[in-house]
């Protein structure tokens, strides 16, 4: 087994990885799952958001509950929650996590004819939940698209981003105050 100093020395020699801050590559530049075994378990929270724009008529169908496939926002909420729980099955180097909370909210905006999706994901663990929050948002919005595409194929998913993360060694981060 290599010592910590040997691994750090190899990392400095690995092409394209030295000083990059990219943690999903080993010392020889090969992709790997990050070892989080030595990290402390802390309360981890991530909030992500995204928007789907659509025709005003499509938004009216969603809000009235008359979509042919059913309750669009209710089904999208369940899909988003399920997606957060399955993130490690979808993104190869994500750790499987025992999530303690997934909250998904949809906020219709008639002025812009869009729906904002916000997902807050929490765990008590050794790694963050940003990917789970982002996955929840994307799948929630894709579900809206799927359920409404028969009447509006021009919908646009935009502005998907992490708004904040809390917990862990790197501390808290908030997009509103990030440099």
6 lies in a domain? no
Is the pTM here over 0.85, yes or no?
Answer: no
89 catalytic? Reply is no
Residue with tokens 């059913």: 70
The encoded tokens of residue 37 equal 């075994």
Given 146, 152, 159, 172, which residue is catalytic?
A: 146
At 84, which CATH number?
3.30.70.640
Q: Which domain holds residue 85?
A: 42-173
| Domain count of the fold of the chain | 1
* Model pLDDT, residue 128: 86
159 lies in a domain? yes
32 lies in a domain? no
Provide the 10 A C-beta neighbour count for residue 51.
Answer: 18
* Model pLDDT, residue 169: 84
Q: Which residues contact 106 (CB under 8 A, 6 or more apart)?
A: 73, 76, 77, 115, 116, 117, 140
5 lies in a domain? no
Give 103-116 pLDDT, tens digit per residue: 999 999 999 999 99
For the chain, 179 residues long, the average pLDDT of each consecutive 10-residue run is: 43 45 68 67 95 98 91 97 97 92 98 98 93 98 97 98 93 89
């Amino acid at each position: 087994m290599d010592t910590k100093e040997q691994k750090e020395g190899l990392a400095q020699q690995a092409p394209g990885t030295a000083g990059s801050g990219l943690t999903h590559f080993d010392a020889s530049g090969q992709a790997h799952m990050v070892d989080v075994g030595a990290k402390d378990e802390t309360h981890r929270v991530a909030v992500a958001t995204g928007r789907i724009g659509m025709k005003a008529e499509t938004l009216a169908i969603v809000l009235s509950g008359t979509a042919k496939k059913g309750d669009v926002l209710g089904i999208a909420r369940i899909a988003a929650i399920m997606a957060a729980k399955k993130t490690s099955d979808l993104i190869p180097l994500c750790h499987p996590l025992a999530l303690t909370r997934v909250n998904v909210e949809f906020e219709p905006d008639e002025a812009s004819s869009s729906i904002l999706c916000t997902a807050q994901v929490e765990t008590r663990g050794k790694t963050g939940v940003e990917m789970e929050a982002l996955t929840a948002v994307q799948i929630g919005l894709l579900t809206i698209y799927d359920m409404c595409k028969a009447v509006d194929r021009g919908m646009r998913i935009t502005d998907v981003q992490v708004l904040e993360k809390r917990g862990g060694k790197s501390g808290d981060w908030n997009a509103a105050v990030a440099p």
